Amino acid sequence: MTALTLSTAAAAGLRADAIVIGVAKGTASRSAGLVVAPGAEAVDAAYDGKLAGVLETLGASGAEGELTKLPSPAGFKAPLVVAVGLGDEPGKDDAYDPEALRRAAGVAARALTGSKKAAFALPVDGPGAIGAIGEGVLLGAYSYDAQRENGAKNGKAKNGKAPLGEAALLGGKPRDAAHKGALARAVTVSEELNRSRDLINMPPNDLTPEAFAAITQAAAKEHGFKVQVLDDKALVKGGYGGIMGVGGGSAATPRLVKLSYKHPKADRHLALVGKGITYDSGGISLKPAGHNETMKCDMAGAAAVFAAVVSAARLGLEVNVTGWLALAENMPSGSAVRPGDVLRMYSGKTVEVLNTDAEGRLVLADALWAASQENPDAIVDVATLTGAMVLALGTRTFGIMGNDEAFRAAVHEAAEEVGEPAWQMPLPEHLRKAGESQVADLSNMGERMGGGLFAGLFLREFVGEGITWAHLDIAGPAFNEGGPFGYTPKGGTGSAVRTLVRLAELTACGELG
């Protein structure tokens, strides 16, 4: 991964391949047209204060996502200036939005693939900006190359270039504890988020439930938390009918993984539950071609929970965090669950399976009930649960549902704070009726309209009485099938990781749950 440093050096004397600067769209009242953002004063001065005009001549406007390259002015050691758009210039007394900095840093880091070193001269007004730029660089420089012939060996991307080697953040103070702390947090969270992207991108023939469980065990040893793995035998014995039902069709047997991070001084307990379908073929209700090519991403919720627990452990947060990964592969076979089967769930409730492609809610039901047995202060589950949520909110926004309005709003606020677009969705009671079964306590299918909300209502049935709970449906943002944007690559995105880490931090300081 790209090495990050804080630097007080002057831009002109820096030995680097490029200097990254920010440009914005000036507000009409102050300065119409492109403006050069703070941090790039030295570069602008070397252009005789005419940098904005030069960039406009090259077609730059300051729009978000825009990238313009130009040769450095005389006297600069770095040969190249890379100007990245920050969107609208903030008001007179406001700072640049951290998310705009994060995205711009990501765009620049991706464009600088193959370079050894770059200096980032973006507007820095404090530790928040340092953290955002650091995250943007590390997340934007990511690429998944483990499967290429030489990828794992030389760390080179498909175009034969290695990711940006080093980024020096100018304006960062290497001796300031708050700056150092913000950078260290950004490095930890970004490393774990990138690892979760690796897991999502890993082909499903390699990442079986068993392999996923083994990866968590290795991480636990390294970072000092506990892992307990229930294998198929233990799951049958324990009565986990949901997980066993869904995993029954695959030669790769299911697992329920419990990750426990404990802080000796903690008095609060946050439980995180992740959907971990390592491949979702739909099962006997098989998905048609065109709907299954990306379904290796159906474990993105479990990957996010894993990344959040490891981050909490590495950051030493003063909170107990338990992660539950419900791992199974949904495949059709002679031993697969059939439409019409009734499963006895871990909670004791029975569920008639009317569509084997509505499998996520079945594995989550068992994991939610297991999590509830410890009576945590709050439970948050994360799942690529429904296509309906993608239709409702698009591919960049996740839905938040839950049984407590204040908690749901707090989760939304945390998501916005870390730069993850999210929206609150209701759980309308009238939709439950469609999920009544002729033969069992309930069925796993509701009506088609509002399918994402019915899935949430189904999950609610398996949350212990009186426990605060939120459900994040990340089916849209978990996997990017389009081109890269901001700090988001193609493929696995690491959606919800930063929100979960923030929730753990807020729980630690008693502001949540």
Which of 96-104, 211-219, 313-321, 350-358 is the region at the interface with Mn ion (rule: CB under 5 A)? 350-358
Instruction: Verify binding: residue 401, ligand BES, rule CB under 6 A.
Output: no
Smallest gap from Cβ 423 to Zn ion, in A, equals 21
Q: Would you say 65 or 428 has its CB closer to ligand BES?
A: 428
Q: Would you say 21 or 422 has its CB closer to ligand BES?
A: 422
Question: Which are the catalytic amino acids?
Answer: 287, 361
Smallest gap from Cβ 280 to ligand BES, in A, equals 5
Q: Which does 390 bind (CB under 5 to 8 A by kind): ligand BES, Zn ion, Mn ion, none?
A: ligand BES
Distances 90 to 130, 158, 375 between C-alpha atoms, Å: 18, 38, 45
Position among 259, 475, 504, 506 found at the interface with ligand BES (CB under 6 A): 475
Q: Which does 302 bind (CB under 5 to 8 A by kind): Zn ion, Mn ion, ligand BES, none?
A: none
Alpha-carbon Rg of the chain, whole angstroms? 24
**Which helix H or strand E contains 386, and what residues bound it?**
none
Mask for 282-301, x = binds ligand BES (CB under 6 A): ----------------x---
Position among 145, 298, 381, 473 found at the interface with Zn ion (CB under 5 A): 298
Q: Which residues contact 95 (CB under 8 A, 6 or more apart)?
A: 123, 125, 126, 129
Instruction: Verify binding: residue 357, Mn ion, rule CB under 5 A.
Output: yes
Instruction: Verify binding: residue 381, Zn ion, rule CB under 5 A.
Output: no
Neighbours of 205 (CB within 10 A): 11
Q: Would you say 329 or 505 has its CB closer to Zn ion?
A: 329
Mask for 359-378, x = binds ligand BES (CB under 6 A): xx------------------
Report yes or no: 439 and 484 within 8 Å, Cβ to Cβ: no
In the DSSP assignment, the letter for residue 340 is: T
Which of 57-65, 88-96, 119-127, 298-306 is the region at the interface with Zn ion (rule: CB under 5 A)? 298-306
Distance CA 438, CA 22 (A): 62
Distances 508 to 112, 224, 269, 353, 501 between C-alpha atoms, Å: 37, 18, 9, 39, 11
Instruction: Verify binding: residue 352, ligand BES, rule CB under 6 A.
Output: no
Distance CA 443, CA 342 (A): 9
The CB-nearest residue to Zn ion is: 280
Smallest gap from Cβ 444 to ligand BES, in A, equals 8
Q: What are the two backbone dihedrals, phi and then psi, of residue 184, each rounded to the nearest 5 degrees?
A: -60, -40
Distances 408 to 207, 430, 433, 496 between C-alpha atoms, Å: 32, 20, 24, 14
Instruction: Verify binding: residue 473, Zn ion, rule CB under 5 A.
Output: no
Cα-based torsion angle of the residue sequence 230, 231, 232, 235 in order, rounded to the nearest 10 degrees: -10
Q: Contacts with Mn ion in 140-199 (CB under 5 A)?
A: none
Q: What are the two backbone dihedrals, phi and then psi, of residue 450, each rounded to the nearest 5 degrees?
A: 70, 30
Mask for 440-469, x = binds ligand BES (CB under 6 A): -----x-----x------------------
Instruction: Verify binding: residue 329, Mn ion, rule CB under 5 A.
Output: no
Q: Would you say 172 or 360 has its CB closer to ligand BES?
A: 360
Q: Would you say 52 or 326 has its CB closer to Zn ion?
A: 326
Strand 479-480 and strand 491-492: pairing?
A: antiparallel
Mask for 249-278, x = binds Zn ion (CB under 5 A): ----------------------------x-
Report yes or no: 506 and 406 within 8 Å, Cβ to Cβ: no
At 126, the amino acid letter reads G
Distance CA 98, CA 131 (A): 8
The residue ranges that bind ligand BES (CB under 6 A) are 280, 298, 355, 357-360, 384-388, 390, 445, 451, 475
Q: Which residues bind Zn ion (CB under 5 A)?
A: 277, 280, 298, 360
